[in-house]
C-alpha cells in the first residue's frame, strides 16, 4: 500500500463532522451520504503502479437501504499533469456471504465508463448512472484502479471517526476483503424527500436541448400506486393532463408503477421550446383512498442546431485546441485536407462559402491553392470519405494575411460561387496547399469538449498526398476546422 499526504488546499468540504451524514445540494437536488468527515488527509494506492486486480471498497451493510441511489461519489487526487484514466470501475455491488466482500458478478449499478475517462486533478467526482432503488441489499461501494495507473489516488480520512468499514483487495475479491484503518472517501448520492417524490432527469429542475433525453421518475410508497402526469402553470396549479402534451415524446401515463417507475424519451424537434412544469397525481397507498399530488418539476427545452439545420457544415466545437497541422512541410503539390460533412439536412438550400482556421507563419501573405466544397467519389471510395475532384465550387489562390492566426470562428472566409443543393450529395469541405508552401497551417479541434449544441466528430477528417488519386487517409482524434456556410 502506498500513500501521499494531501496539501491543505485539497480539502473538499468545510471542516466538521459529516460522518454518516448528509450534505444537501451537492449535485442538483442530491443528498450525499458517506462515512468520512469531508476532508481527505491522505491519498492511497494499493500497488504503484496499480495492479490488475486492485480494488477499494466501503461496506455499507444496510446503512443506505431504501435510498434511491443516483450516483457514486469518490474523492481522488491526480498527481499527473493532465486528466487521466485512473478508475476502471466505480459502482455498487452486492456483498458475499461474509457481508464485507463485494461480489463483482453481482452489480447493483455502475457509473458509465465514459464518465470515468477523465478524472481531473484533486476533485470530488459525482457520477450519475441510472436511478437505483437500493432496497434492503447488503452492498459495498467499489472503486477499481486502472491497471498500470500511477497518477490517480483514492482519498483517505484518517482523523475523523473511524467506522471500520473500509477494505481493499489485490486479487479482485477472490479472497475476502482486507480491512483497513482509514476511511476511504467513497459515498453515494441519493434523491431526498419523503416516501413519494417526482423527478425529471434526477432533479426538480432540469434543462435539455431538442433531441436530448428527458427521463421522469416517480418514486412511490407501495407496490401498487397508479399515477398520471399533469402539466402545471409552474406555480403549483394544475392545468391539463400531460398525456396530450407528452405524446410527442412517447411518454404517457403509467399505472401499477411498483415502488418506482422511470420512463424517458428524446425530446423531438420543432415542437416546443421554453419551460414546462409537471406534477404527478397519484393514489394513496392502502388503506388510504386519497388522491394526492407530488412535488412540481420544471423542464426547460432549448433549441438545437440539429433541428434547425444550423449544425450542417461544422463538425468541430468551434475552438482550436492549440494543435495546427499540414500534410508535410514544405507542402507537396497534391496535399489536401478534407472533412466529410455528409448530406445537407434541415433548411440548407445554398452553400455560400467555407471558413478555414488558417495560420500563416510567414511575414508576407501566402495562399491556399484551392478551398471549396466537394461531393464524394463513391466509385473510388464507397465509404464516402474521399472527395470527388473537381470541386462543386471553390476559390483559387486566395491568400492568408501575414501572421494570421484563427483560434475559432469566424475564421478566414473563402467565398466561392453559390452552390444550390440538389439532394443526394455527400459533402466535403477541402483545402489544397500550394506546392512548396512552408507558411500555411490549419487549426483543429482535438477535444470536442467546448460548449456546442451540435454534434462533434473527431473521426471525419482526412488527408491525401496524391490529390485523391487513391482513397483519403483518416486522421482520427482531430477535426479540421473547416466550416461550410449556407443559406
pLDDT digits (tens, 9 = 90+) for 218-242: 777 666 667 777 777 787 666 555 4
3-state class of 373 per DSSP? strand
pLDDT at position 326 over 60: yes
DSSP state of 240: E
**Mean pLDDT value across residues 294-312:** 77
**Mean pLDDT value across residues 62-86:** 70
| Residue 279: pLDDT band with limits 50, 70, 90 | confident
157 and 36 Cβ atoms separated by less than 8 Å: yes
What is the reported pTM? 0.45
pLDDT at position 3 over 70: no
Q: Which DSSP string corresponds to 131-194?
A: -EE-TT--EEEEEEEPTT--SEEEEEE-SS---S-EEEESSTTSSPPEE-SSEESEEEEE--SS
Strand 350-356 and strand 473-474: pairing? unpaired
pLDDT for 60? 84
Is the omega angle on the peptide bond into residue 410 within 30 degrees of 0, that is, cis? Answer: yes
Range in 140-149, 217-226, 343-352 the model is least confident about = 217-226
3-state class of 332 per DSSP? coil
From CA 315, how far away is CA 66, in angstroms rounded?
A: 45
* φ and ψ at residue 364, rounded to 5 degrees: -130, 160
pLDDT for 20? 29
Q: Taking Cα atoms as reference points, which of 452, 130, 184 lies closest to residue 306? A: 452
pLDDT for 419? 97
The ranges assigned to domains in the chain are: 2-190, 197-303, 324-486
Whether the CA torsion 213, 218, 219, 222 is positive or negative: it is negative
Residue in this structure with the C-alpha cell 514544405, named with its chain if needed? 330
**Mean pLDDT value across residues 22-48:** 66
317 and 291 Cβ atoms separated by less than 8 Å: no
pLDDT for 23? 30
H or E element at residue 278: strand 274-283
H or E element at residue 157: strand 152-157
Instruction: Report the percentage of the chain scoring pLDDT > 70.
Output: 74
In this predicted model, what pLDDT tens digit does every residue of 88-129 receive, in sequence order? 888 889 899 999 999 999 887 776 655 554 444 444 555 555
Is the omega angle on the peptide bond into residue 96 within 30 degrees of 0, that is, cis? Answer: no
From CA 334, how far away is CA 473, in angstroms rounded?
A: 13
From CA 470, how far away is CA 464, in angstroms rounded?
A: 8
pLDDT for 18? 24
Q: Which CATH number fits domain 197-303: 3.40.1080.20, 3.90.1200.10, 2.60.40.10, 3.30.565.10?
A: 2.60.40.10
3-state class of 27 per DSSP? coil
pLDDT for 126? 54
Strand partners, 130: none
Q: Which DSSP string corresponds to 85-110?
A: --EEEEEEEEE-TTSSSEEEEEEEEE
pLDDT for 55? 96
| Residue 270: pLDDT band with limits 50, 70, 90 | low
C-alpha cell at 395: 476559390
DSSP state of 305: H
C-alpha cell at 219: 418514486
pLDDT for 35? 76
Q: Taking Cα atoms as reference points, which of 15, 13, 19, 5 lies closest to residue 161? A: 19
In this predicted model, what pLDDT tens digit does every residue of 153-191 receive, in sequence order? 888 888 777 678 999 999 999 999 999 988 898 888 776
| Residue 319: pLDDT band with limits 50, 70, 90 | confident
Q: Which DSSP string corresponds to 104-139?
A: EEEEEEE--GGGGS-B-TT-EEEE--S-EE-TT--E
pLDDT for 428? 97
Q: Taking Cα atoms as reference points, which of 127, 120, 48, 44 lies closest to residue 84? A: 120
- Phi/psi-derived region of residue 160, left when phi > 0, alpha when psi is between -120 and 50, beta in every other case: beta
Q: Taking Cα atoms as reference points, which of 298, 258, 272, 301 lies closest to residue 133? A: 258
* φ and ψ at residue 200, rounded to 5 degrees: -125, 115
pLDDT for 19? 27
**Mean pLDDT value across residues 194-219:** 77
412 and 296 Cβ atoms separated by less than 8 Å: no
Amino acid at each position: 500500500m502506498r500513500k501521499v499526504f494531501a496539501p491543505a488546499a485539497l480539502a473538499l468540504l468545510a471542516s466538521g463532522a459529516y460522518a454518516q451524514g448528509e450534505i444537501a445540494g451537492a449535485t442538483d437536488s442530491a443528498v450525499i451520504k458517506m462515512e468520512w468527515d469531508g476532508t481527505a488527509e491522505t491519498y492511497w494506492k494499493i500497488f504503484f503502479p496499480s495492479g490488475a486486480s486492485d480494488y477499494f471498497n466501503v461496506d455499507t451493510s444496510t446503512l443506505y437501504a431504501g435510498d434511491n441511489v443516483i450516483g457514486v461519489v469518490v474523492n481522488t487526487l491526480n498527481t499527473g499533469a493532465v486528466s487521466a484514466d485512473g478508475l476502471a470501475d466505480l459502482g455498487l455491488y452486492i456483498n458475499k456471504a461474509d457481508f464485507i466482500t463485494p461480489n463483482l458478478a453481482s452489480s447493483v449499478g455502475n457509473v458509465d465508463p465514459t464518465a470515468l475517462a477523465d478524472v481531473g486533478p484533486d476533485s470530488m467526482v459525482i457520477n450519475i448512472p441510472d436511478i437505483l432503488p437500493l432496497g434492503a441489499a447488503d452492498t459495498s461501494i467499489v472503486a477499481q484502479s486502472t491497471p498500470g495507473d500511477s497518477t490517480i489516488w483514492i482519498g483517505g480520512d484518517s482523523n475523523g471517526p473511524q467506522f471500520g468499514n473500509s477494505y481493499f483487495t489485490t486479487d479482485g475479491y477472490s479472497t475476502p476483503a482486507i480491512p483497513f484503518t482509514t476511511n476511504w472517501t467513497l459515498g453515494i448520492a441519493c434523491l431526498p424527500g419523503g416516501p413519494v417524490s417526482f423527478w425529471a432527469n434526477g432533479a426538480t429542475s432540469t434543462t435539455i436541448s431538442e433531441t436530448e433525453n428527458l427521463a421522469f421518475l416517480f418514486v412511490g410508497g407501495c407496490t401498487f400506486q397508479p399515477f398520471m402526469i399533469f402539466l402545471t402553470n409552474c406555480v403549483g396549479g394544475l392545468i391539463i393532463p400531460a398525456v396530450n402534451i407528452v405524446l410527442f415524446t412517447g411518454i404517457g401515463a403509467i399505472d401499477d408503477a411498483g415502488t418506482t417507475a422511470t420512463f424517458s424519451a428524446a425530446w423531438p424537434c420543432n415542437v416546443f421550446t421554453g419551460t414546462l412544469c409537471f406534477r404527478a397525481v397519484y393514489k394513496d397507498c392502502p388503506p388510504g383512498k386519497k388522491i394526492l399530488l407530488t412535488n412540481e418539476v420544471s423542464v426547460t427545452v432549448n433549441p438545437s442546431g440539429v433541428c434547425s439545420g444550423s449544425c450542417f457544415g461544422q463538425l468541430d466545437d468551434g475552438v482550436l485546441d492549440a494543435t495546427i497541422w499540414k500534410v508535410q512541410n514544405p507542402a507537396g503539390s497534391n496535399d489536401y485536407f478534407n472533412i466529410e460533412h455528409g448530406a445537407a439536412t434541415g433548411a440548407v438550400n445554398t452553400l455560400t462559402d467555407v471558413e478555414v482556421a488558417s495560420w500563416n507563419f510567414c511575414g508576407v501573405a501566402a495562399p491556399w491553392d484551392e478551398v471549396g466544397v466537394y461531393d464524394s467519389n463513391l466509385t473510388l471510395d464507397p465509404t464516402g470519405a474521399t472527395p470527388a475532384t473537381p470541386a462543386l465550387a471553390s476559390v483559387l489562390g486566395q491568400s492568408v494575411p501575414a501572421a494570421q492566426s484563427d483560434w475559432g470562428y469566424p475564421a478566414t472566409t473563402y467565398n466561392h460561387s453559390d452552390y444550390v443543393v440538389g439532394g443526394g450529395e455527400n459533402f466535403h469541405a477541402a483545402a489544397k496547399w500550394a506546392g512548396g508552401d512552408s507558411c500555411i497551417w490549419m487549426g483543429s479541434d482535438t477535444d470536442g469538449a467546448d460548449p456546442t449544441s451540435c454534434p462533434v466528430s473527431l473521426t471525419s477528417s482526412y488527408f491525401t498526398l496524391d490529390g485523391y488519386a487513391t482513397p483519403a487517409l483518416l486522421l482520427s482524434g482531430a477535426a479540421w476546422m473547416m466550416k461550410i456556410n449556407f443559406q
